[in-house]
Amino acid sequence: MHLWYSLVDILLPFGWLQHGFMKNALLGVLLVTPIFGLLGTMIVNNKMAFFSDSLGHSALTGIAIGVILGIKNPVWSILFFSVLITIAILVVKEANTASTDTIIGVFSSTAVALGLVILSHNGGFNKYSGYLIGDLLSISSTDLLTLGIVFILVILLWVVMFNKLLLSSMNPSLARSRGIKVKLYEYLFTLMMAVIVTISIQWVGILIISSLLIIPAAASRNIAKNMRQYHVYSVLIALISGLSGLILSYFWGTATGATIVLVTSGFFALTFIMKLRLR
């Protein structure tokens, strides 16, 4: 971290970066927003926006489980429950007894209700309300190390499995004919999404975590002409929005995650207008 602090002081000698917590937040934004941009492209392509939203809502039950078990760091209990509910949704979806959005809605609503019931017992919900809006400025050196490891793993997995994952999502029958295990890649992607949402939720917030996954990719899709542009624009929009939102939240004194989402929404509006004009 000392090297990062020194680089920031030399390359970015701005007043708002003189604080250690802002340097940590900046590094956090540089690590997490490209991941959101990448994963968001596949989420939008596969029409999984509702699914990513349900992962965010399930965090409440994950926190509640951590409270019951006496776990000091609720991230581990959130991760456990997110993975559990992800697998449960995929298993029930394969049974073809109801539409995917109905299944996700049932699990999401149940998870939220269960979490609220447990956490609100004897009026104790207030101490956990911070998870609803998140606090990027509270990110620590240990958190950044974890995020850095996850960043590297996600990039490596994306490089290795992207082509097979894309084919599996666009044409499952063709993918199977080429020997691709469609279900395996579906599980790998959704579990990877669950891990990212879990790790980021304490800084971004339960209420808006899905927005940061969906809006950059949706904005990119408005103007991208091919798959490469789609990914590049999505990552750039997520990154620029993250940096802009961080700076604006510092001067405005607002929640960082929510400010970033507003900037991404501005990008979506801009690209939507560009798309209409091109037509």
Residues contacting 60, CB < 8 A, separation 6+ = 111, 112, 114, 115, 116, 119, 131, 206
Q: What is the DSSP string of 194-208?
A: HHHHHHHHHHH-TTT
Give the per-residue pLDDT at 183.
86
Q: What is the pLDDT of residues 197-223, one digit of tens each?
A: 888 888 888 778 888 889 999 999 999
**Distance between CA atoms of 72 and 67, rounded to whole angstroms?**
8
Give the per-residue pLDDT at 125.
64
Give the per-residue pLDDT at 25.
92
Q: Environment class of residue 71 by beta-carbon count within 10 Å: exposed (0-12), middle (13-18) or buried (19+)?
A: middle
8 Å CB contact between 108 and 58? yes
**Distance between CA atoms of 80 and 85, rounded to whole angstroms?**
9
Enumerate the domain spans of the chain.
20-273
H runs (alpha helix) in 134-226: 141-170, 172-177, 182-204, 209-223
**20-273 to CATH, choices 2.60.60.20, 3.40.50.300, 3.40.800.10, 1.10.3470.10:** 1.10.3470.10
Q: What is the pLDDT of residues 70-121, one digit of tens each?
A: 887 788 888 888 888 888 888 887 777 777 778 888 888 888 888 888 888 7
**Distance between CA atoms of 169 and 223, rounded to whole angstroms?**
21
Q: What is the pLDDT of residues 2-29, one digit of tens each?
A: 788 888 878 788 888 888 889 999 999 9
CA pseudo-torsion sign 4, 5, 9, 14:
positive
Q: Which two tokens stand for residue 74?
A: 């609720």
Q: Is the pLDDT of residue 122 over 70?
A: no
DSSP assignment, residue 19? S
